[in-house]
Amino acid sequence: MQPTTNQIVIYCGSRHHMLNNIKFFANHPRMIRSKVETGDSQSCLMAIGIGKAVLSCNCKTLKLKNCLFVPSLKCNLISIKRLIYINYELPTVLLTTIEKHPWHNRLGHPAASVLKNLGLPNIKTPCLICEINKAHQLPFNHDFAPVHNPMDSVHIGLVGPITLASVSGFKYLLMIVDQSSSLKIMKFLKRKSESFDPFFIAKNFMENQKNRTMKKLTSDWGGEFVKEKFKKLAEDCGFIHMLSPPNTPEYNGYAERFNQITLEKARCLMSMANLPNQYWAEAVNTSIFLSNLSPTP
C-alpha cells in the first residue's frame, strides 16, 4: 500500500469528497463500511466513516458535508461534482481577470501549444481557473495508429447522465470526432437511447464537409452503440465498427480525451463568466466552437 499524505486534490473523477486523515473532520465521523472503487476498476479501498469536514487554506475555510473517511487513500480528494451540486462559488480573489490573459481567456483556456501555433504570446503566470477546472486523471498510455486522411478513423463517446439537467432538459453528451482533422461535433440528448439519429446526422454532415466517406468508427461497448441499427448502418455503408472491450475506457481513449478537454474548457468558461450551472450545455457548445476554430496541438 502506498503511503498517505495530507495533500488535497480537487478532482473531477470522484463522486464523493474523500479524506484520509481524521483531523480534517469537524466531529468524529459516523462509522460505516463501504467499498470505494479506484480508477483501474481492479482494486477497492474501504471507507470506514462519513461526516462533516472543515478545510482551511490561505485564511479561507471550506466546510464540506458527507465526506468519506478512507484511511488508505494516498491523498485527499475534493469532488468537483459535489462542489458544483451545492453551487459552490470560488472567491473572486482567486479568479484570473480577462485583462491578464486576454487571448487565453477568449479562446476558452487552450493549451500553450495552441497559442504558439496561432502566433499569440503565451501566458507568463499560472491561470488559476485552468488549475481549478482542469484537474483530471493522468492520461492513458495507449497510442492510436496515425491516420492521414479525413474520415479514415472516427471516434464516438457518450457522457452522462449529468446530475443537473441543462436549461433545455438535456442530460447526455454525444461526441463525434474525426481523428485526422480533429473536427468535432457534439449532440445533446435527453436519453442515451437517442444516440443513433444524432450520430447519423453528424456522420452525413462530416462526410459532406470532408467529401470523403467514413472508413472506421471506434466506440466503447455501451448498449447504445451495440444496437442492431449501428450494425446495419456499418454493413450498408461499408465501414468498420470497432468496439473497445467492456470497462476499458483507455481503448476508446481518443474520444475520452476530447470529452475531457471539452468539459474542462466548458468549466473554465462558466467559471470565468459566473454562469449558473444549468447553462452547461451552452458552455459545451461554445467549447466545441472554439475547439474547431483552434489549431490542434
Going by their DSSP bridges, the two strands 60-69 and 44-57 should be labelled as antiparallel
pLDDT of residue 219: 84
Pairing of strands 76-79, 184-189: unpaired
Greater confidence (162 vs 245) lies with: 162
- Residues with Cβ within 8 Å of 159's Cβ and at least 6 positions away in sequence, in order, are 172, 173, 175, 259, 263
Which of 66-75, 186-195, 197-206, 259-268 has the weakest average pLDDT? 259-268
Strand-pair category, 76-79 with 8-11 = parallel
CB-facing half-sphere around the CA of 182: CA atoms within 13 A: 15
In sequence order, what are the residues at sequence separation of 6 or more whose Cβ sits closer than 8 angstroms to the Cβ of residue 93? none
The Cα-based distances of 295 to 148, 182, 247, 267, 290 in angstroms read 16, 9, 32, 21, 10
Distance between CA atoms of 153 and 131, rounded to whole angstroms?
32
Q: How far apart are CA 74 and CA 92, in angstroms?
A: 31
Question: Mean pLDDT, to the nearest integer, of 243-257?
Answer: 69
Q: How confident is the model at residue 94 (pLDDT cuts 50, 70, 90)?
A: very low
pTM greater than 0.95? no
pLDDT beyond 60 at 96: no
Q: d(Cα 52, Cα 7) in Å, to the nearest integer?
A: 18
* pLDDT, position 92: 41
- Domains of the chain by start residue, with CATH: 8-88 (2.40.70.10), 89-297 (3.30.420.10)
Locate 245 and state its grid cell. 472491450
Instruction: Round to whole Å and give the CA distance between 168 and 239.
Output: 34
| The pLDDT of residue 95 | 41
At residue 179, φ and ψ (nearest 5 deg) are: -65, -35
% of the chain with per-residue pLDDT over 90 = 16
What would the DSSP string read from start to end of 74-126? Answer: SSEEEEHHHHHHTT----GGGSPPTTTSHHHHHTTS--HHHHHHTTPPPPSS-
**Rounded CA separation 68/63 (Å):** 14
Say what percent of the chain tops pLDDT 70: 77
d(CA 188, CA 166): 10
Give the model confidence (pLDDT) of 6-23 as tens digits.
Answer: 888 888 778 889 999 998
Residue 256 phi, psi (nearest 5): -60, -40
Beta sheet of 184-189, edge-to-edge order: 184-189, 172-178, 154-159, 216-219, 240-243
